[in-house]
Amino acid sequence: MIDLRSDTVTKPSPSMREAMARAEVGDDIYGEDPTVNRLQEVGAALVGKRAALFVPSGTLGNQLSLRAQAEPGREVIVEGRCHIIRYEQGAAAALAGVQLHWVTGTQGLMTAEQVEAAIRPKDPYSIQTALISIENTHNAGGGTVYPLSTIQAIHAVASAHQVPMHLDGARLFNAVVASGVSAAEYARHFETVTFCLSKGLGAPAGSLIATDDPGLLERLRRFRRMYGGAMRQSGILAAAGLYALKHNIQRLAEDHAHAKRLATRLQQIPGVAIDPATVETNMLFFEVHSNKLSLPAFVAALKQEGVLINAVGAHTCRAVTHLDVSAEMIEQAADRIARVLK
C-alpha cells in the first residue's frame, strides 16, 4: 500500500523505536522526565526561543496558544482556510471562547495589508483583536511557504498595533528546508510557535510550543493541564521526537523532490489537472475530471490498486509525500493513477 493521505501516517522506524525503548523517564507533571526536558530544550534552541512545552498534538499546541494569549470575547485574525478553522472541531470558539476573523489569502497566504485591515479599532464598540495566527507551511493553501518578507511585514503591522503573533508551524521544517530560511529567523516574529514532530519528521505523536516569555510559558502549562494534555512518563514519546529532530529534518528535501516528481507525472495523465509550479513542499492538490468515475469512485478504485489519497473537494484530491514513501513508490503511484483513469 502506498499511503499518500498525509505525512501523519508514518510509522516509527526500528532505530526510533530503539531510542524510545531506551528513554529515561520520570513524572513530567513534576518536571522530572529528563527526556521530555531535553526535548523541550533542544526544540526551543532549534527555533531560537528560551523555552518549549511538549504537548500531545498540533491541535492542542494551537489551542493552548490561543487560550493563553486571547481572552474569551476577543478576536483572533486567521487565514480563511487554516487548520484552526477547518480541522480543530471549533475549539477556538468552544474552548478558548474567541471569535475568529477570517482573511481570505492567496494559496493560504495573507498580506500585511489584509492583516492591518482586519485589526479592529480601539473604540468602545469594536471587538478587540488579541492575536494574529499564521500557518507556515499552509496546508490547504497547497503546502505553501510564507516568504520571510511577508512575515516581516505582518510583524511590523502587528507590532505597531501591539498585537502578538502565533505561528502554526505544524510543518515549519518543511518551510525551512524549502526556503533556506532558518527556523529561528521565522520564529523570532512570533510570541508562540508550534511545530509538530509527528508529521514529516516521523515521530508517532507530539508537538512543541516554543516561547521566550516565562509568564506565557506558565499559562500554557496551566492550560495544558486544564485541557487534559499534561502527561506523565512521556519521555518515551519525547525520545522519538529527539530522534526525529536529529535525523529527519534535512531529509524533508527528498519528500519535496518526490512531490514535484509526482506532480510532473500527474500533469501528463489525461483527466488530471495540476500545475507542478504550485508544489512547494510535500503536498500536492490536483483535480480529477472523469466522465466515468466520480471522485469517491476514483479514490476507491485507487485504493483497490494499493494507493491511498484523500478527496478534499468536489474534484480535488490531496497527496502528501513523507519518509515512508520512496522514489520508486512515487513512480508506482503515478502508474496506478494513470491506470485507474484509463
Question: By CB under 6 A, is residue 248 in contact with ligand TLP?
Answer: no
CA 185 to chain centre: 18
> What are the C-alpha distances in Å from 257 to residues 165, 188, 322?
31, 28, 11
- Closest residue (Cβ) to ligand TLP? 58
What's the closest the beta carbon of residue 191 comes to ligand TLP, in angstroms?
Answer: 17
- The 190-219 contact track toward ligand TLP, x by CB under 6 A, reads ------x-x---------------------
Across-strand partners of 3? 308
CA 8 to chain centre: 10
Q: Strand, coil or helix: what is 189?
A: coil
Question: By CB under 6 A, is residue 87 in contact with ligand TLP?
Answer: yes
Question: By CB under 6 A, is residue 319 in contact with ligand TLP?
Answer: no
What's the closest the beta carbon of residue 342 comes to ligand TLP, in angstroms?
Answer: 29
Pairing between β-strand 192-196 and β-strand 165-169 as defined by DSSP bridges: parallel
- The 278-317 contact track toward ligand TLP, x by CB under 6 A, reads ----------------------------------------
What's the closest the beta carbon of residue 53 comes to ligand TLP, in angstroms?
Answer: 15
- Which of residues 267 and 310 has its CB atom nearest to ligand TLP in the complex? 310
Q: Compute the distance between CA of residue 96 and CA of residue 78 in angstroms, rounded to an integer.
A: 15
> What are the C-alpha distances in Å from 254 to residues 140, 174, 200, 244?
21, 11, 11, 15
Q: Which of 67, 74, 83, 260 binds ligand TLP (CB under 6 A)?
A: 83
Question: By CB under 6 A, is residue 3 in contact with ligand TLP?
Answer: no
The position carrying cell 507530539 is: 206
Please give, one letter per residue, the 3-state secondary structure of 98-158: CEEEEECCECCECCHHHHHHHCCCCCCCCCCEEEEEEECCECCCCCECCCHHHHHHHHHHH
Q: Compute the distance between CA of residue 11 and CA of residue 202 in angstroms, rounded to an integer.
A: 7
- Which of residues 96 and 269 has its CB atom nearest to ligand TLP in the complex? 96
- The 321-340 contact track toward ligand TLP, x by CB under 6 A, reads --------------------
What's the closest the beta carbon of residue 145 comes to ligand TLP, in angstroms?
Answer: 13
Q: Compute the distance between CA of residue 301 and CA of residue 158 in angstroms, rounded to an integer.
A: 48
The position carrying cell 477547518 is: 86
What's the closest the beta carbon of residue 67 comes to ligand TLP, in angstroms?
Answer: 15
What's the closest the beta carbon of residue 265 comes to ligand TLP, in angstroms?
Answer: 22
- Which of residues 57 and 211 has its CB atom nearest to ligand TLP in the complex? 57
**Residues 135, 140, 144, 150: is their CA dihedral positive or negative?**
negative
Rounded to 5 degrees, φ, ψ at 180 are: 80, 0
- Which of residues 35 and 281 has its CB atom nearest to ligand TLP in the complex? 281
Question: By CB under 6 A, is residue 58 in contact with ligand TLP?
Answer: yes
Question: By CB under 6 A, is residue 170 in contact with ligand TLP?
Answer: yes
Q: Which of 6, 10, 174, 192 binds ligand TLP (CB under 6 A)?
A: 6
Question: By CB under 6 A, is residue 265 in contact with ligand TLP?
Answer: no
Question: By CB under 6 A, is residue 150 in contact with ligand TLP?
Answer: no
- Which of residues 74 and 83 has its CB atom nearest to ligand TLP in the complex? 83
Q: Compute the distance between CA of residue 221 and CA of residue 135 in angstroms, rounded to an integer.
A: 22
Task: Summarize as ranges the residues that interact with ligand TLP (CB under 6 A).
Answer: 6, 8, 57-59, 62, 83, 87, 135, 139, 168, 170, 196, 198
